Structure 1
Amino acid sequence: MSDKHILKNRSFLFIWMGNIISELGAAFGTFCNSILIFQLTGSTMALGSMWILYFVPSLILQLFIGPFIDRWSRKRIMVFSQLSRGLVFLIPLLSSLTGNLEAWHIFAVQIFIGLITPLYSPANQSIIPTIIPSSQLSAANAYLDGTIRLMTFLAPFAGGVVVESIGVKATMPLVCALFIISGFILLLIQESRVALPIRKSWLEQFTEGVSYFFKQPLIVWLGVFLAFVQFGVGVSMVINLPYITRELSGSYAEYGYFMSSFPLGYVLGALLVRRLSHRSRRALMLGALIIGGLTYILLGMNVSIHFAFVTESVAGVAMAIFSVHNITIFQQYVPNSMMGKISSVRLFIIRGAMLLGVMTGTILSDIWPIRLLYILIGSIICTVSILGLLHPYFKFMDYPNDEERTACER
């Protein structure tokens, strides 16, 4: 099945369109909230607190929601999530228009978004294998990831220009509209649902998901490696804005360009990943993570804002190579009837690592130099990835091949 044929699949087309618009809205919303908090407080501690208030409820709900994702309609979960996100962004919008905006308004939005994201993400991942043949998941994921990242490239770029020229208020109505439009597009998905033959309790389903996850070394260790990366992402979420505006004396527009650089690289990486032949999947994936770690170290030593853009783009290419293979392996490995439960366990680990990174960045950014934090992040990622690449234990990452594993699991 070629890319052209994938887009002829109407349900995939609607998911593709809905996710693109959703990512655009999320990128605009995150950009606006970060700037609003920084303008209101001028504190990296407050910026970090904004993300902690997002991740704590997200992490708690992520652990418990998995069994319900498999029980409920995944399409309805996604639609509900998008419409809810669109409505909650009315809080900072209306507060800004009336001149009553306070930091707690942004914190309230972050808490609510943190509660909604654990519903949307596993439902989105779980519905893809029901509409795309297993043999084409890699191409579909690369196509979906690449185009979504293109939107997240355009959003910070456009957001930086808009905020620099006319202010944050002009972008807030667009955030609300994008989420609502995405929800209505997702309503058009033709969902195929398979009734579960046995009605199990939540505890039985939860235990089943945790047990299955930890019996699969490949899934566990790919989650662990990704968790170290997400720890670094969590730290950088706190320090990116002061890094650009203070360390490199950049403007909000240049902060937008910097935030656009990673998704631009990701788009290029997603286009490249299907054309990369490899004899060792382990070498390809962990080699990409090593390159990603080195980009953090380079940012820590960098003094040029333009070099920062290039470095972040390279990080995007490396992360795309790892992520597309990672999610494809996950979707091929896990039976679809358990996808929601396993996704929730996996995302709990990943989001937990990101929360730890945000907390680390929040605490240390007022004590340590920001450049030192970038070097610390990169050193951790490089060390873990090199160990995975060199230690004989991790040879299982190359076996069995996709066809054999898919035949066995399904």
Structure 2
Amino acid sequence: MDSKIFINRNFLSLWLGKVISQLGDKFYAIALAWWILQKTNSPKVMGLFLLISVLPGLIFGFFAGALVDRWNRKYVIIITDIIRGLLVILIVCLSIFKLLQVWHVFVIGASISFITSFFDPAIQSIVPQIVDKERLNEANSMSQMVNGICTVLGPMFGAVAISWFGLTYVFLLNGISYFISAILENMIILKSNYRISDETNNIWIDMKEGILFLKNKQQILRVIIIIAIAHFFLGSLMVLLPFLAKNLNGNGVQNLGYMQAILGLGLLLGSIYIRGKKNDTISEYYLINLIMFVGICFLGIGIEQFIMIKTIIPYMIALILIGGSVACAVVFWQLLIQLNTPDNMTGRVFSVSTLVGNVSLPIAYGTFGVLLNYSSIMKLMLFSGCCLIVLCCVLIFRLRLNKIKESILK
């Protein structure tokens, strides 16, 4: 495999490890959901497990980001992958000996969430340490491409693997994927000119410095606000999608599979498209316009519902456009943070951006899950689309106002 296509050999190792571990994660998610369904047949237990699985990351995320800024990020991603692999292997052992209980799954899920709160900011922060500044956009787009590939292929191969090999062996595949990822990450060589935070400082001082940095760096703060808005309304789409699929012609489950796959394909195509963009084309305006376009697609789905279109193709067109726009937006916000954040602060900044996204998604799930009991898919999609467009217009207006103020001060 040509390392030039994949930026350099260091990034190639990181990228391959990410593909393998994320595919394993997709297998694990499907297998675990199916196991909980078989064991309890309770939506409440499933919902509680999802909450428990994200709660430690929400509580410890910023603290973990501060520690990531102190430590060697290569070792952080290797050690966290090994620990996550061991935790999944523990599920395998309990399953083999017929000892696996719901509370085991809850404890292990919470533990994986805690460990992942270190892994996520570390793997985002490590990219500038192995890639030249001029090629950061390519690196981010390649990383985002992994999400598209795994979203398209993961559920399909995961379901096949469960039917062929059974749940226990699918868990085993996920555990092994973490170990393979760790081996590949061990091949990475970091640049020597990157600084990390001073470990002699109190950790609380580091966290305070991170908050002050964000407070004073308005551009990054705006980007994080955009992330929160986008995640919230994308959460609404995830809630409404199964009900939308059920209402269309054909088999509801198959419709949902097609819709999720086409959304993943959009992520993949968007990542391929954005790879050709240069760093100097990246701006907040571009990011906001992408989110606004997602709002327009939401309006399109609402209008399709209004005129009672029952065939799946028009909805799939909207979804592939949403996926492509989201992929481009993710690459842009990652690059904006990387280019405007000091080396020894990226762990804290990325942990905040991840935290914001992880908080806004469950809020969206709860909010729109309740609203759907009192409203319709059409109204909620039109509402979401209008909100995104209006909020993006407000952000653009404020950006232009700030530009005018800066020019007057000069």
Q: TM-score, normalised by structure 2?
A: 0.82
Q: Counterparts of 2:243 and 2:334 in 1: how far apart (Å)?
A: 32
Q: Counterparts of 1:122 and 1:261 in 2: how far apart (Å)?
A: 28
Alignment of 1:107 onto 2:106: yes
Secondary structure at the aligned position of 2:324 is classed as helix
Distance 1:117 1:213, change over 3 A: same
Q: Counterparts of 1:236 and 1:169 in 2: how far apart (Å)?
A: 32
Distance 1:266 1:126, change over 3 A: same
Q: Counterparts of 1:361 and 1:51 in 2: how far apart (Å)?
A: 17
Q: Which residue of 2 aligns with 1:224?
A: 225
Q: Counterparts of 1:340 and 1:378 in 2: how far apart (Å)?
A: 37
Distance 1:349 1:290, change over 3 A: same
Letter of the 1:136 counterpart: R
Q: CA deviation at 1:284?
A: 3.3
Structure 2: runs of 5 or more not aligned: 405-410
Give percent identity, aligned residues only.
23
Quick check: 268-277 or 335-344, which moved more? 268-277
Q: Which residue of 2 aligns with 1:173?
A: 172
Q: Which residue of 1 aligns with 2:181?
A: 182
Q: Counterparts of 2:50 and 2:339 in 1: how far apart (Å)?
A: 32
Q: Counterparts of 1:347 and 1:204 in 2: how far apart (Å)?
A: 21
Q: Which residue of 2 aligns with 1:287?
A: 289
Letter of the 1:144 counterpart: S
Alignment of 1:383 onto 2:357: no
Q: CA deviation at 1:37?
A: 3.2
Secondary structure at the aligned position of 1:117 is classed as helix
Letter of the 2:361 counterpart: M
2:343 to 333, 336, 339: 336
**Maintained 8 Å contact 1:289/1:382:** no
1:320 to 315, 319, 327: 327
Q: Which residue of 2 aligns with 1:88?
A: 87
Quick check: 190-199 or 241-250, which moved more? 241-250
**Maintained 8 Å contact 1:157/1:259:** no
Q: Which residue of 1 aligns with 2:400?
A: 395
**Maintained 8 Å contact 1:229/1:381:** no
Q: Which residue of 2 aligns with 1:403?
A: none
Work out the number of aligned pairs and report it: 394
Q: Counterparts of 1:43 and 1:361 in 2: how far apart (Å)?
A: 21
Which residues in structure 2 correspond to 1:84-233 (within 5 Å)? 84-98=83-97, 101-163=100-162, 168-192=167-191, 194=195, 196=197, 199-233=200-234
Q: CA deviation at 1:267?
A: 1.1
Q: Which residue of 1 aligns with 2:9?
A: 10
Secondary structure at the aligned position of 1:5 is classed as coil
Letter of the 1:216 counterpart: K
Letter of the 1:179 counterpart: Y
Q: Which residue of 2 aligns with 1:402?
A: none
The structure number with the bigger radius of gyration is 2
Q: Counterparts of 2:261 and 2:184 in 1: how far apart (Å)?
A: 25
**Maintained 8 Å contact 1:149/1:263:** yes
**Maintained 8 Å contact 1:51/1:358:** no
Deviations 1:304-331 (A, max 9, x none): 4555544432221010121111111110
**Maintained 8 Å contact 1:223/1:349:** yes
Which residues in structure 2 correspond to 1:363-374 (within 5 Å)? 367-368=373-374, 372=377
Letter of the 2:212 counterpart: S
Secondary structure at the aligned position of 1:89 is classed as helix
Q: Counterparts of 1:28 and 1:74 in 2: how far apart (Å)?
A: 26
Secondary structure at the aligned position of 1:159 is classed as helix
Q: Which residue of 1 aligns with 2:360?
A: 353
Which residues in structure 2 correspond to 1:239-258 (within 5 Å)? 244=245, 250=251, 255-258=256-259
Q: CA deviation at 1:288?
A: 2.1
**Maintained 8 Å contact 1:122/1:343:** yes
**Maintained 8 Å contact 1:86/1:178:** yes
Quick check: 170-179 or 387-396, which moved more? 387-396
Quick check: 164-173 or 384-393, which moved more? 164-173
Secondary structure at the aligned position of 1:171 is classed as helix
**Maintained 8 Å contact 2:227/2:353:** no
Q: Counterparts of 2:324 and 2:402 in 1: how far apart (Å)?
A: 21
**Maintained 8 Å contact 2:282/2:332:** no
Deviations 1:9-40 (A, max 9, x none): 22211111111112211222222223333444
What is the alpha-carbon root mean square deviation over aligned residues? 3.5
Deviations 1:195-217 (A, max 9, x none): 65683211111111011112222
Q: Counterparts of 1:383 and 1:179 in 2: how far apart (Å)?
A: 40
**Maintained 8 Å contact 2:196/2:344:** no
**Maintained 8 Å contact 2:291/2:388:** no
**Maintained 8 Å contact 2:297/2:385:** no
**Maintained 8 Å contact 1:85/1:179:** yes
Q: CA deviation at 1:74?
A: 0.7
Q: Counterparts of 2:52 and 2:44 in 1: how far apart (Å)?
A: 12
Structure 1: runs of 5 or more not aligned: 400-410
Distance 1:394 1:33, change over 3 A: farther
Q: TM-score, normalised by structure 1?
A: 0.82
Q: Which residue of 2 aligns with 1:405?
A: none
Q: CA deviation at 1:360?
A: 3.2
Which residues in structure 2 correspond to 1:254-265 (within 5 Å)? 255-265=256-266
